[in-house]
Amino acid sequence: MSLKDYYIIMNDSEKELNSKLRSLPSVGKVLDNPALQPAIKCAGKNLFKCLLNDYLGKIREGLVSGKLVHFNYDKLIDEISFSVNSICDNSMREVINATGILLHTGLGRSALSNVAVGSITAAAKYTPVQSDPVTGKRSLRESKVEVLLKELTGAEAVTVVNNNAAATMLVLNTLAKDKEVVISRGQLVEIGGAFRMPDVMTMSGAIMKEIGTTNRTHLSDYRNAFDENVGALMHVHTSNYRLRGFGGTPDISEIVSLAKELGLYSIDDLGSGALVSLEKWGVESEPLIKDSITAGVDLCCFSGDKLIGGAQSGIICGKYEHIEKIRKNPFARMFRVDKLTLAALEATLAIWVNGEYEEKIPLYKMLCTSKQILKNRAMELSSKISGKIFAEISIEESEAYIGSGSLPDSGIKSWAVSLKFKNIEAEQGAQILRKNGVFSRVRAGRVWLDMISLLDGHFDLLVHRIISSFGK
């Protein structure tokens, strides 16, 4: 019997992989690195080790899978230091949005108003989230939100959950579990993260009944689908895409009328949730919540963190008896929002009731900013960084977007500063900016910094971070 019968003979690729894995530094070696001592002191040794082990684990996975050919020790030290600092330093959590996407999903969608931020800070301590200050008895968590949204929409009752997908599932589970729900094929949407309406329906316990075609659905299709197994007619606004050309579907008022005639529930998933028309800003309008309620829909649902400008949430409005059923559904407790979300939402809705959204809610302040002001802002930025960085600087007209699945093909005219670097590619330049807390976009080999999505107080900070990133 030869030696090879006793030992596993590795091929060259396996030997190379083992060599790479053995060359990974030990946790102890990294902890002793002088360059990391400030980060370790900031985070604490245990937290730092936790983050380091996670980072080293990802490197090992990359080497084993072949997605990572090699690793660089200096890069490891740099990136783990950045990761720790971004957790410890609150200033690193507040980034600058220069992408031109006003509701950027990757950056947390809607920026909250100063009033909402103050409300969150106050609610972070003890707050009467579910206790009546007058009687001292247990109260309804969303009572203030309900009062405000009843005023804004005309709904009989309102409840709040953690996002609109949860709201949709809760509505379907409450009104149509084990029953068929009729929906147009053109409205079987997929939202971000591969969440699809058919999947939400399945999880809710409702049975999807498709009608019509991708581009056209008639009211007669809804009527012809009716039988004893049908429990509801559903309308879904296609927030994140548009069908152009030969197409059409009945509006919510037609669906509501037919549902009443047939003795069925009517459900309207409005997606982004518009309280006012956006046409005044040159943007195609979304369906208004108030119009759905006026049409007599049983229940409608929408997001609280997109066009409303509040914290992430899903809002359900409609008939009192149905909202009461939803509140008693066990899923309602699973999906409920916390005190901080409620505080932000209450403050935001109060701004709407007072008609101050253009002055106080960041999204609408951005939309109200004139094109001349945006151009002046771009010219000022160009002037302040000119001669101070290694890049060619130009001022460009740009097209911004609402974002987060709202109004996908309605561009907003804006102005931007674009940078052409001399020694690095645009993608690398954008990465350097991100590490310094600035999110931009890359187009035609240049980094674009759009002026419309900047928040108050971010302009001077943007100047500083550009120069610190690429200064001579």
User: Higher pLDDT residue, 169 or 238?
Assistant: 169
pLDDT in tens, 361-399: 999 999 999 999 999 999 999 999 999 999 999 999 999
pLDDT score recorded for residue 5: 43
What's the pTM value of the predicted model, to 2 decimals? 0.86
pLDDT exceeds cutoff 50 at 4: no
What is the arithmetic mean of pLDDT over 393-418?
85
pLDDT in tens, 61-108: 888 887 777 777 777 787 777 777 777 766 557 899 999 999 998 998
What is the arithmetic mean of pLDDT over 254-264?
97
| HEC-encoded secondary structure of the chain | CCHHHCCCCCCHHHHHHHHHHHCCCCHHHHHCCHHHHHHHHHHCHHHHHHHHHHHHHHHHHHHHHCCCCCCCHHHHHHHHHHHHHHHHCHHHHCCEECCCECCEHHHCECCCCHHHHHHHHHHCCCCCCCECCCCCCECCCCHHHHHHHHHHHCCCEEEEECCHHHHHHHHHHHHHCCCEEEEEHHHCCEEHHHEEHHHHHHHHCCEEEEECCCCECCHHHHHHCCCCCEEEEEEECCCCCCCCCCCECCCHHHHHHHHHHHCCEEEEEEECCECCCCHHHCCCCCCEHHHHHHCCCCEEEEECCCCCCCCCCEEEEECHHHHHHHHHCHHHHHCCCCHHHHHHHHHHHHHHHCCCHHHHCHHHHHHHCCHHHHHHHHHHHHHHHCCCECEEEEEEEEEEECECCECCCCCEEEEEEEEEECCCCHHHHHHHHHHCCEECEEECCEEEEECCCCCCCCHHHHHHHHHHHHEC
